Amino acid sequence: MFRICGCDDSRLLSPGKKNERRDREAKLKLYSVQGVHEYWIVSLLEQKVEVYRRSQGILRLTLTLYRQDELTSPLLPGFSCVVDKFF
């Protein structure tokens, strides 16, 4: 897990195959309860980034981005990254 730019409200995870279920279920629920505003899961196998954002009090899947897409965040003004750079 990485914290982005020291933001306490963002998390970036790149789960291994074994951890994928835990990251999508247990950690997602935990981070939602803890008030995290944005949570990214990077899937190396599928080469995509899932972006979960807080909506109506819980984290919900908002975007699924693929290699050619650009990742931005309202929590990180001025940040942008082509998803391909994660791989």
Show me where the domains of the chain are located.
10-86
pLDDT in tens, 29-69: 888 898 999 988 888 888 999 999 999 999 999 999 999 99
pLDDT of the residue at 17 = 63
pLDDT at 70: 95
Architecture in CATH of 10-86: Alpha-Beta Complex (3.90)
Mean pLDDT for the stretch of residues 6-22? 59
Tell me the average pLDDT of the chain. Answer: 81
Residues 59, 38, 19, 61, CA torsion sign: positive
Q: What percentage of the chain exceeds 90 in pLDDT?
A: 37
Using alpha carbons only, what angle is made at residue 53 by residues 51 and 57, rounded to the nearest 5 degrees? 155
